[in-house]
């Protein structure tokens, strides 16, 4: 029991258990479940990217899916038009840089222009709508409403020496690549949040004016956070190529709404929350689609209202504030209790 | 020349409808600083009031038109009491909560009344010639009635006791409360009134558009941009914002494909927001 008192030990054990569980998952449950889980992990990365700006700087973005979609379209178009060995790396580069460029433009136009809070949110709705409409009307370039098809799969490795193909059929290949990417993005986000820059971001969220008085360049920090978030969203867009269809839907307002729900349900301002939200909501959606496909959006609406009114910190917040303290109290009671003085059990 | 006249009439018609929808949104934004993302769903509900009253055999269009502000206003009031009032202090959370309400209303209508397009009868058919161009009578009727209602709202806001109290609450909530104005009653009334106006706009438009659960979304960005372009602390700001967005939409639609026109309007709107974040009418803060 003493081992469990030590927080870092506990964390290490939990991390190993989680990693092993995810590693064995497709081997135990089969390729279909592996495909589904890979998709939810991609969504988890996307949700984490939104959480970085929403949860940690308080800037709400209704067009996070636009960054994601730009990444996916950018990578797919690169793969189609550039058929040289190693094109995958250029595709990833473009997929990450294109949304970052949009974020810099948005940040320069809006955040430096003091367009903040709800105004920023409305403008992001418009940005999403613009790209959605563009992807529909520019049929020769994007394939229009049918989506974009006929591009070669991603290939990782060294060309003509060893290559790992991430086609739609290579479930195990892309599952592990996505799993490793999720872990890397998580660690990167943790590194950023725990850096002095990350601390300053949280100061901005808590009180922007005070942070400004202390001497931080609040607007500049928000732009950097937005750009970083856009880059991660673009990366998740590339990873989406093997698991989904590149169509205008992934740029639209409805998909951005889904991203907001994942973060809100999982827990804002936590790094694990977005993944929890994407998995829980994703599985719920898959499960409910078999039963009642027509009410899914209604349930999403109820989620929003519910989270805002009763559960502002999401699942992770709830576990941390309510379940975890209760559990550790129990645990300590058990270990510290002397054998002969049994206290009456208090009903919880 | 003919195209110019028709386009100008279209511009007036779209602008007045957008203004009618935006008024309630702008005043509640001025009052409490929250943006109700479900606001354009009131427009959709208003159109459905006409469809439903048509179905249950009320004297067709006019009953629906008369009922729509009352029914939708009541729905708006219910939403304010049950949800919005808990979010006044949290504008960013309010975006999420009202977006949830928007989804619930849209999907609720889809489930109960079906996702298909509905059409209602136009009360007048035919058209009149103006400056050598034929334009439908009903469109003129829309322009006339919406201008009438907008004038009525300006009168209410600037010349009545209720308007005075509302403006007092907008400019200083605590002081208004201290001199005995019930701020909560003002919030509720304005919210219900704004919802009712949007519902009325939906009922007016129901004969000329395809009524469907997503029709509110088609006016979504226009309405919200009309409000933020105009600036929220002045009722004339909404008039200016609605006119800019509506005219931009009408004139650009005459020159480009509708989707391209929409993209250009949004780019224009983003530019205006960037250049004048306080609104085209508002003073720099």
The share of chain A scoring above pLDDT 90, in percent, equals: 30
Average pLDDT, chain B: 87
Structure tokens at A29: 């449950």
Which residues are within 8 A (CB) of B236 and not within 5 positions of it... i.e. 6 or more apart? B230, B281
Q: Which residues of B touch A55 (CB under 8 A)?
A: none
Arithmetic mean of pLDDT over chain A: 85
- Asked whether residue A344 is domain-assigned, the answer is no
- On the question of pLDDT at B283 being above 60, the answer is no
Cα gap A251→A323, rounded to integer Å: 37
Q: What pLDDT score was predicted for residue A99? A: 95
CA distance B241 to chain A (A): 14
Of the pLDDT bands very low, low, confident and very high (cuts 50, 70, 90), residue B91 is confident
Question: Structural domain tally of chain A?
Answer: 1
A150 vs A105, residue with greater confidence? A105
Q: Which of B35, B103, B266 sits opposite A300 (nearest CB)?
A: B103
Is B257 in contact with A110 (Cβ distance < 8 A)? no
| pLDDT value for A98 | 94
DSSP β-bridge partners for residue B127: B136
Instruction: Give the lowest-confidence range in A33-42, A189-198, B34-43, B111-120.
Output: B111-120
Report the predicted TM-score, pTM, of the whole model to 2 decimal places: 0.87
pLDDT tens sequence across A190-211:
999 999 999 998 888 888 888 8
More confident residue, B115 or B192: B192
Is the CB of B219 inside 8 Å of chain A's CB atoms?
no
Q: How confident is the model at residue B58 (pLDDT cuts 50, 70, 90)?
A: low
pLDDT at A348: 45
Please give the Cα distance from B165 to B159 (Å, whole number): 11
* Displacement of CA B224 from its chain's centroid (Å): 9
pLDDT in tens, B263-278: 898 898 888 888 877 7
| pLDDT tens digits, A230-275 | 999 999 999 999 888 888 888 888 889 889 999 988 888 888 999 9
Q: How far is CA A185 from CA A176, A229, A278, A323, B7, in A?
A: 14, 11, 15, 27, 52
pLDDT at A221 over 80: yes
Are A110 and B274 inside 8 Å of each other by CB? yes
**Highest mean pLDDT: which of A67-76, A132-141, B215-224, B272-281?**
A67-76
Closest CA to B20 of B154, B140, B141: B154
Q: What is the band of B57 on the pLDDT scale with cuts at 50, 70, 90?
A: low
CATH number of residue A75's parent domain: 1.10.3470
Say whether B270 and A127 touch across the interface (CB within 8 A): yes
Q: What residues have CB less than 8 Å from A216, skipping those under 6 apart?
A: A200, A203, A204
Q: Is B256 an 8 Å CB contact of chain A?
A: no
pLDDT above 70 (res A280): yes
Mean local confidence (pLDDT), B207-236: 85
Does residue A347 fall inside a structural domain?
A: no
DSSP A289-322: HHH-GGGHHHHHHHHHHHHHHH-TTHHHHHIIII
Cα separations in angstroms, B216 against B44, B98, B260? 5, 14, 20
Is position A342 within any domain?
no
Q: How confident is the model at residue B102, as a pLDDT?
A: 93
Average pLDDT over every residue of A10-39:
87
Query: Picking from A63-77, A292-306, A331-345, B4-18, which range would have the lowest pLDDT averaged per residue?
Result: A331-345
Q: For chain B, list the strands marked E by DSSP.
A: 127-130, 133-136
Cβ-count burial B245-266 (b if 16+ within 10 Å, e if not): bbbbbbbbbeeeeeeebbbbbb
Burial label, A124 (beta-carbon count in 10 A; 0-12, 13-18, 19+): buried
Among A126, A133, A300, select the one facing B269 at the smallest CB separation: A126
Backbone angles phi, psi at B136, to 5 degrees: -60, 140
Mean pLDDT to the nearest integer, B141-158: 91
Closest CA to B191 of B166, B213, B216: B166
Does residue A205 sit within a domain? yes
Report CB contact under 8 Å: A122, B225. yes
Contact call for residues A171 and A35 (beta carbons, < 8 A): yes
Residue that has been written with the tokens 């086609």 in this structure = A167
ipTM comes to 0.86
Neighbours of B111 (CB within 10 A): 15
What does the CA dihedral A311, B27, B225, A254 come to, rounded to 10 degrees? 30
Does residue A340 belong to any structural domain of this protein? Answer: no
Most A CBs within 10 A among B92, B94, B226, B276, hence the mutation to make, goes to B92
Q: Above 90 in pLDDT, residue B230?
A: no
pLDDT in tens, B164-199: 998 888 888 899 999 999 989 999 999 999 999 999
pLDDT at B101: 94
Query: How close is the nearest chain A Cα to the Cα of B88, in Å?
Result: 12
Beta strands in B23-155 (DSSP E): 127-130, 133-136
Confidence band for B259, pLDDT divided at 50, 70 and 90: confident
Question: Is pLDDT above 80 for B281?
Answer: no
Closest alpha carbon to B77 in B111, B28, B149: B28
The pLDDT of residue A6: 65
End-to-end CA distance of chain B, in Å?
A: 43
Give the domain range for residue A198.
2-335
Lookup: tokens for A235 = 């990366």
Asked whether B18 and B221 are in contact (CB, 8 A), the reply is: no
Give Cα separations from B5 to B11, B132, B143 (angstroms): 10, 9, 15
Q: Where does the pLDDT of residue A137 fall: very low under 50, low under 70, confident under 90, or very high at 90 and above?
A: confident
Q: How confident is the model at residue B59 (pLDDT cuts 50, 70, 90)?
A: low
* Residue pair B168/B13 in contact by the 8 Å Cβ criterion: no
Nearest to B108 by CA among A305, A154, A114: A305
Where does the pLDDT of residue B285 fall: very low under 50, low under 70, confident under 90, or very high at 90 and above? very low
What's the mean pLDDT in B143-171? 90
The pLDDT, as a whole number, for residue A105 is 92
Least confident of A9-23, A162-176, A250-264, B40-54: A162-176
Q: Provide, rounded to the nearest whole percent, the portion of chain B with pLDDT above 90.
A: 32
Using one digit for the tens of pLDDT, what is the confidence trace for A107-116? 888 888 777 7
Cα of A175 vs its chain's centroid, Å: 16
Selected residue with higher pLDDT from B131 and B237: B237
């Amino acid at each position: 029991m003493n081992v469990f008192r030590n927080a870092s030990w506990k964390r290490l054990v939990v991390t190993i258990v989680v990693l092993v569980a995810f590693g064995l998952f497709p081997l135990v449950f089969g390729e279909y479940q592996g495909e589904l889980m890979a998709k939810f992990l991609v969504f988890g990365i996307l949700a984490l990217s939104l959480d970085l700006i929403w949860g940690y700087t308080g800037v709400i973005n209704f067009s996070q899916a636009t960054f994601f979609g730009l990444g996916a379209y950018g990578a797919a178009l690169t793969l189609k038009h550039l058929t040289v060995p190693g094109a995958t790396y250029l595709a990833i580069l473009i997929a990450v840089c294109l949304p970052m460029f949009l974020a810099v433009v948005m940040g320069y136009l809006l955040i430096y222009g003091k367009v903040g809070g709800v105004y920023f949110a409305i403008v992001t709705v418009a940005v999403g709508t613009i790209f959605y409409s563009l992807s529909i009307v520019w049929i020769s370039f994007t394939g229009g409403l049918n989506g974009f098809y006929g591009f070669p799969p991603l290939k990782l490795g060294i060309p003509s020496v060893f290559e790992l193909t991430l086609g739609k059929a290579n479930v195990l290949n892309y599952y592990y690549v996505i799993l490793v990417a999720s872990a890397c993005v998580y660690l990167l986000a943790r590194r950023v949040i725990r850096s002095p820059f990350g601390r300053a971001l949280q100061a901005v969220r808590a009180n922007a004016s005070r942070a400004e008085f202390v001497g931080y360049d609040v607007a500049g920090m928000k732009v950097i956070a937005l750009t970083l978030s856009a880059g991660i969203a673009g990366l998740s867009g590339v990873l989406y190529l093997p698991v989904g269809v590149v169509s205008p839907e992934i740029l639209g307002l409805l998909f951005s709404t889904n991203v907001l729900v994942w973060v809100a349900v999982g827990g804002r301002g936590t790094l694990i929350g977005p993944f929890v939200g994407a998995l829980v909501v994703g599985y719920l959606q898959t499960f409910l689609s078999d039963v009642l496909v027509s009410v899914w959006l209604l349930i999403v609406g109820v989620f929003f209202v519910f989270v805002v009114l009763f559960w502002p910190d999401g699942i992770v917040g709830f576990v941390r504030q309510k379940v975890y303290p209760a559990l550790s109290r129990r645990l300590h009671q058990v270990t510290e209790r002397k054998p002969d003085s049994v206290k009456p059990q208090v009903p919880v | 020349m003919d195209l110019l006249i028709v386009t100008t009439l279209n511009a007036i018609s779209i602008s007045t409808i957008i203004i009618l929808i935006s008024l309630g949104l702008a005043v509640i934004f001025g009052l409490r600083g929250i943006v109700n993302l479900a606001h354009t769903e009131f427009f959709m509900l208003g159109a459905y009031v006409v469809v439903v009253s048509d179905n249950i055999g009320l004297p067709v269009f006019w009953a629906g038109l008369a009922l729509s502000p009352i029914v939708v206003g009541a729905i708006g009031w219910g939403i304010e009491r049950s949800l919005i009032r808990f979010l006044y202090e949290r504008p960013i959370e309010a975006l999420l909560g009202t977006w949830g309400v928007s989804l619930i209303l849209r999907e609720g209508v889809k489930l109960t009344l079906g996702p298909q397009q509905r059409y209602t009868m136009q009360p007048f058919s035919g058209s009149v010639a103006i400056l050598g161009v034929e334009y439908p009578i009903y469109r003129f009727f829309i322009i006339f009635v919406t201008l009438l209602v907008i004038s009525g709202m300006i009168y209410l806001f600037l010349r009545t006791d209720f308007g005075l109290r509302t403006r007092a609450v907008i400019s200083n909530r605590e002081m208004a409360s201290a001199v005995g104005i019930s701020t909560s009653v003002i919030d509720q009334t304005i919210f219900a009134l704004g919802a009712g106006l949007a519902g009325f706009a939906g009922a007016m438009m129901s004969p000329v558009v395809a009524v469907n659960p997503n029709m509110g979304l088609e006016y979504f960005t226009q309405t919200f941009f009309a409000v933020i372009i105009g600036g929220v602390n002045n009722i004339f700001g909404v008039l200016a914002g609605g006119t800019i967005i509506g005219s931009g939409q009408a004139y650009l639609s005459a020159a480009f494909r509708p989707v391209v026109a929409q993209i250009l309007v949004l780019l224009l709107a983003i530019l205006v927001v960037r250049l004048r974040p306080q609104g085209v009418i508002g003073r720099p803060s």
